Amino acid sequence: MFRFARAPGSPLALVVGLTLAGCQPLPHPFADSQLPPDAPILQVADTVGILVEPVVQAPSLAQAMATALQDREIPADTHAANRQSYHLSGDATATRVSAGSAMVDIQWTLRNAKGETVGSDRQQATIAAADWTGGAPETLAALGKAEAPRIAAMIQEAPPIERNPGRQIFIRPTEGAPGDGRTALPRSLGFLLTRAGVKVTPDSQTVDAVVVAPMVELSSLGKGQQHVRIVWHIYRPDGTEAGEVSQENDIPAGSLDGSWGDVGMAVSTAGIDQIMGVVKTIPLKNPISN
């Protein structure tokens, strides 16, 4: 296995290894380097996500919006953030329009890490007054779902990254992950691939799709520490393994037991170049010419 690490001083220090089946050449060789023993995998990298700030008039609305953005493959959280995160704020008012009904008016504002306004949108909806005052989960979820596409459109810009034209990738749920890592890790990788112009399919039976299967292995080190190893297995459309990318480090015990927040994005960002390096070695059955 070839081993490499991010350069010293990088916000996310991960030991990463890449193995290609069939002894194929490495697409991105890096020199060996030794990480300091206290370099945590949980140290958040400078990745893009959205911190949804509390909506004073409806405390549960922020979580509803974060969930709606996550459903659209946008990394969002009501607590976790980093130096590059966008901040989404909502200013809401409700006016009674008839017996039992209220007009909700929400001004959403999205700002970048510098505090500059990226975009804003005004959301209006007539709902049951009791649902608004009581914070009915289904009603707030519907509000978040309706507005999330507009918020997502403000930040979704695909950077120019080389890819296989026509290639589709299916990402399996994470095997062995504690907390919400089973879904958080695939969601983060899917978001990054989509931004890069790579088609991520939700159908495991998609013809000629490459399968990426993340796995998490945790072992106790004692003294409140755990060793975590994350392996991304990459399979050809015929089911044979083309290679794997691994990331590992020592972390405080239990750090991954709850919400992964930006951890999934940090891990995916550290591994995506190597994952795509393996994917690019797999020929398309019917290449699409530009």
Which domain CATH number covers 142?
3.30.160
**Range 5-15 average pLDDT:** 36
**Range 14-25 average pLDDT:** 50
**35 lies in the same domain as 57:** no
Q: Which of 93, 4, 35, 77 is nearest to 273 (CA)?
A: 4
DSSP string for 196-215:
TT-EE-S-TT-TT-EEEEEE
What average pLDDT does the structure give for the chain? 79
Does residue 256 contact residue 225 with C-beta atoms inside 8 Å?
no
**196 lies in the same domain as 226:** yes
Q: Report the pLDDT value the prediction gives residue 70, as an integer from 0 to 100.
A: 86
Any domain includes 290: no
**168 lies in the same domain as 27:** yes
| Cα separation, 210 vs 257, whole angstroms | 29
Write the pLDDT tens digit of every residue in 119-154.
888 898 889 989 998 989 999 999 999 898 888 878
Any domain includes 104: yes
Q: Report the pLDDT value the prediction gives residue 177, as an integer from 0 to 100.
A: 94
**34 lies in the same domain as 170:** yes
Question: β-pairing, 101-111 with 15-20?
Answer: unpaired
**32 lies in the same domain as 56:** no
**10 lies in the same domain as 80:** no
Any domain includes 285: no
Q: Is the pLDDT of residue 176 over 80?
A: yes
Does residue 86 contact residue 113 with C-beta atoms inside 8 Å?
yes
Total-model pTM: 0.54
Confidence bin at 110 (pLDDT 50/70/90): very high
Q: Which of 153, 180, 199 is the last residue of a domain?
A: 153
Q: Is the pLDDT of residue 160 over 60?
A: no
Burial class (CB in 10 A: 0-12, 13-18, 19+), 285: exposed
**164 lies in the same domain as 275:** yes
Confidence bin at 204 (pLDDT 50/70/90): confident
**119 lies in the same domain as 244:** no
Q: Which of 138, 153, 168 is the last residue of a domain?
A: 153
Q: Report the pLDDT value the prediction gives residue 90, as an integer from 0 to 100.
A: 93
DSSP state of 35: -
Any domain includes 184: yes
Strand partners, 110: 88, 119
Burial class (CB in 10 A: 0-12, 13-18, 19+), 168: middle
- Which residue has better confidence, 21 or 96? 96
Q: Which of 153, 177, 204 is the last residue of a domain?
A: 153
| Cα separation, 146 vs 131, whole angstroms | 16
Question: β-pairing, 2-5 with 210-222?
Answer: unpaired
Structurally, how many domains does the chain consist of? 2
Structural domain of 227 = 2-42+159-279
Q: Report the pLDDT value the prediction gives residue 35, as an integer from 0 to 100.
A: 35
Any domain includes 211: yes
**77 lies in the same domain as 210:** no
**79 lies in the same domain as 138:** yes
